[in-house]
Every structure is written in structure tokens, then in C-alpha cells.
Amino acid sequence: MSTLDNNWFTEEFSSEGSAFSLKINKKLHEEQTPYQKLEMYDTETFGNLMVLDGCTMLTTRDNFLYHEMMSHIPLFSHDDPKKVVIIGGGDCGVLKEVLKHPGVEDVWQIDIDEAVTRASEKYFPELCESNDDPRAHLLWQDGIKWIKDAPAGSIDVLIIDSTDPVGPAEGLFAVDFYKDCHRALGENGVLVQQSESPLFHSGNIIKKIHSDLAEAGFESKHTFPFPQPIYPSGWWSCTLGKKQGEAKAFRQEAADSLAFETQYYTGEIHQAALALPAFMKRILQG
């Protein structure tokens, strides 16, 4: 639930008795797409804000945290990523980060709602500056069906950049979908799924993702926490699954000597994110 009162946009998380607010200068855009309500705001201190169905999605100020961790964690966890697929990601921030890797040959971004990308091109142009890269293929389709139809073994890294597991994204948090992902990934394939708040969701959503990935055939999995001020609790995560090998293993030397600029991700940050709080270990191992 969200409200706009006295120029403060507030998203409430009633189940957790908490809320997050941003001071708004003005509303920039509003439309009801075929799939969701899309709003854009100009905030006082966080730049532009995107809201989908009343939920904060990203701001100019802090989106780099999510986009960099969702991109570089899985790409450096694969030995030689060339074929990358992004399910969701209509704001194109993950696409931009993935294309920083010179070894990547093709990236397919499959988002069901073209309106999100068109609005991002206008209000978050810095995230869309790589959309014309010849390696980028933007498709507005049902990602679940696209993965089901993908040739077996055709993908190196699969990034599930979805909204919360409700509405259009609900099917992206399901064991049958993960089984299709497992089939579409190559022998050394890597999958990463945004996995909500460690504080609020470890005992349900994150634990279920681990269980579903194991049932789908992934040999190992690991959750990587990171800060994200505008999301519930201010603390977010992504969960990685590997078809074979250790989910904690990554190309640390390459990550330590990045050939491109980042604002948050480094090899040291990747290494640090491998450490889980004691309560998460108990939940995920229980």
C-alpha cells in the first residue's frame, strides 16, 4: 500500500509494521499499462522515482546497488559468460551493467511490459544508454514462456530481475519455472533471482527459493545480501544457483581488477557478501 500526503510518498509494509517515505517535488508521469500501474516522481533528494502498483522500484540515487549486484555477482560466478538472458529488468539498469563485460556476446532482455522501458528511456536515460548496443536484444514477451521455449543448454547466465512475487511476477518464483531455467542453461550455467529482504523474508521467500532451486536440479545455491534503502527494511538480496560447482566460487582475480567502472561492486564486496548473518544460516540450514 502507498500514499501521497503533504508531498511525501509513503510505501507501507503493513505485515511488518514499517514504512518508507520520500519527499516529492512533483509527479512526472502516470499510466495504467496492460499489466500494472506505472508512476514516476521527482523527489527532493533521491532524483527520479519509479513506482509500480504502489511499490517503489528504483530511484536515481540508489539504483546502482541493486543493478550492480544482480549483474556482476552472477557474471563473475560463471567461468566465461557469453550468452546472458534477463527476465524482467525493463528499466534496463541490469542490461547496462551486463554489457560492461567485454566477453559477453549477446544479451536478451525479456520484459512483459514495454511501457516500463519507454518510461525509463525518458526518466532514467542513464540506465538506457546501452540499449542500442548491437549485443542487446530487447523483447517484450512473457518471460516464463520464452524460457520454456528456449533451446536446451543455450544460456550461460540467467538473471531474473523481477518485481515482488505477486501479480505478473508470481510465476517467476516457482519450481516449474526454475526447472525450465535449469534445462535452458548450459552445463556450467548460473541463475540469479532477486530474493527480497533478508530481514523480512528469509523464513518464507528466500528459504523457498533455496528449496525450489534444489528441487529443480541446481547443485548449489547461495544468497547474497546487500543494502537497498528504498526497499522494505532497507536490506535486500539476490540468490544464485549453479547447475554444477560451488555457488560461492567466483573469478576473484578478474573481479578484483575490474576493467570497467562501478559504484558499489568490487571483488571485495563480492567476497564480503558471501558471509551470511547467523539467523539466516539457521533458517536456510534448518
Identify whether 176 is a catalytic site residue.
no
Classify residue 235 by burial, with Cβ atoms within 10 Å: 0-12, 13-18, 19+. Answer: middle
Those residues with Cβ within 8 angstroms of residue 254's Cβ, 6 or more apart along the chain or in another chain: 76, 267
C-alpha cell belonging to residue 190? 548460473
φ, ψ for residue 209 (rounded to 5)? -60, -45
Residue type, 88: G
Reported as type and span, the H/E element at residue 48 is strand 48-52
Q: What 3-state DSSP class applies to 125?
A: helix
Reported as type and span, the H/E element at residue 281 is helix 278-285
Residue type, 54: G
Q: Which of 161, 176, 180, 212 is catalytic?
A: 161
Rounded to the nearest 5 degrees, what angle is found at the Cα of 244, between the Cα atoms of 221 and 201?
10
How far is Cα 73 from Cα 84, in angstroms, rounded to an integer? 13
Q: What 3-state DSSP class applies to 215?
A: helix
- Catalytic residue positions? 161
